[in-house]
Amino acid sequence: MAAKLSEKAVELLKKPVLAHLATIMKNGTPQVTPLWIDTDGTNLFINTEQNRLKAKNMRRNPNVALSVVDPQNNYNTLWIQGTVIDMDAKNGQTHADTFAKKYRGLDKYVNTDSADVRVKITIRPDKVAGSASK
Amino acid sequence: MAAKLSEKAVELLKKPVLAHLATIMKNGTPQVTPLWIDTDGTNLFINTEQNRLKAKNMRRNPNVALSVVDPQNNYNTLWIQGTVIDMDAKNGQTHADTFAKKYRGLDKYVNTDSADVRVKITIRPDKVAGSASK
């Protein structure tokens, strides 16, 4: 069930903040890694390479969680439990470019390996907590 | 199986960095929240209140994961998969006081509620990745 993002949540996610994404491994244990994030006010968008462990985990199990802390104020936080509702490789590179702009001021996202395939991942927030949630 | 922490990992964990801890909910989905962290060079130590959701999750399921990013250098990272091997309420408050010193320069950790019971949690790292892992 979708949860609504507050104005403060959207404001935080529009900043060039790091999100820490938890996915579930095949054996049911968690994995967490940092990544870039954005939102359209309703869903969350992240981007990764299609063969990364987190991508494999999300293809198998769409249940994820995210933690975001404002680097300017460690008490401005978001803790989100959500569901992966789309994994889009077609628009993955274009989406990575928007992240390069947001986080680095660059027009293009340069892959470490030219064979990399970027995937745009859409996450529906199901439960939102933390100080920026209201 | 315990994984060894590198010198760079210990150096990062000794800084006043935030860790993002993933625990597993009763229904198998992940939860992630930020918290303070320390290490003795072998295990990781975190601290929480005994009735927090993350504490309940760890009592039921000791499988956790942690993500740490150096605020001075976002490419200095640790991604740890680990196991909770001890939850110690007896020394929880004293341990919280060491965190107040490390993160705030204060002698005492002041609980938001006087009835709070702090728990010192020991996590054995089983798998360590990220740039500071080597």
Which pLDDT belongs to residue B112? 83
- The share of chain A scoring above pLDDT 90, in percent, equals 96
Which pLDDT belongs to residue A1? 81
Q: Is residue A93 part of a domain?
A: yes
The structural domain count of chain A equals 1
Q: How many CA atoms lie within 13 A of A39 on its CB side?
A: 26
Q: Which tens digits make up the pLDDT trace of A85-113?
A: 999 999 999 999 999 999 999 999 998 88
Q: Is residue B24 part of a domain?
A: yes
Q: Is residue A1 part of a domain?
A: no
Q: Is residue A2 part of a domain?
A: no
ipTM: 0.95
Indicate which CATH number applies to the domain containing A102.
Answer: 2.30.110.10
Q: Does A16 touch chain B (CB under 8 A)?
A: no
Q: Which tens digits make up the pLDDT trace of B98-113?
A: 999 999 999 999 988 8
Q: What is the spatial distance between Cα B6 and Cα A131, in angstroms, rounded to a whole number?
A: 34
Q: Which tens digits make up the pLDDT trace of B15-50?
A: 999 999 999 999 999 999 999 999 999 999 999 999
Q: Is residue B96 part of a domain?
A: yes
Give the closest of B18, B66, B74 to A32, CB-based: B66
Subunit contact A32:B74, Cβ cutoff 8 A: no
Q: Is residue B1 part of a domain?
A: no
Please give the mean pLDDT across all residues of chain B.
Answer: 97
Residues paired with A20 in a beta bridge: A34, A67
Q: Is residue A70 part of a domain?
A: yes
By the 10 Å C-beta count (0-12 exposed, 13-18 middle, 19+ buried), B90 is classed as: exposed
Residues A115-123, mean pLDDT to the nearest whole number: 97
Contacts of A31 in chain B (CB under 8 A): 22, 65, 79, 81
Residues B63-82, mean pLDDT to the nearest whole number: 97
User: Two tokens at B10?
Assistant: 């210990």
For B23, which residue in chain A has the nearest alpha carbon? A30
Q: Is residue B2 part of a domain?
A: no
Q: Does A31 touch chain B (CB under 8 A)?
A: yes
Which pLDDT belongs to residue A112? 83
Long-range contacts of B112-116 (CB under 8 A, 24+ apart): B116/B49, B116/B50
The answer to whether residue B1 scores a pLDDT higher than 90 is no
Collapsing DSSP states into helix, strand and coil, what is residue B108?
Answer: coil
Q: What is the pTM of this model?
A: 0.96
Q: Does A117 touch chain B (CB under 8 A)?
A: no
Q: Does B20 touch chain A (CB under 8 A)?
A: yes
User: Two tokens at B6?
Assistant: 């590198």
Q: Which letter, b or e, does each residue of B92-117 get, where b requires 16 or more Cβ atoms within 10 Å of its Cβ?
A: bbebbbebbeebeeeeebeeeeeebe
Give B116's pLDDT tier (boundaries 50, 70, 90).
very high
**What domain range includes position B31?**
7-133
Residues A20-42, mean pLDDT to the nearest whole number: 98
Give B131's pLDDT tier (boundaries 50, 70, 90).
very high
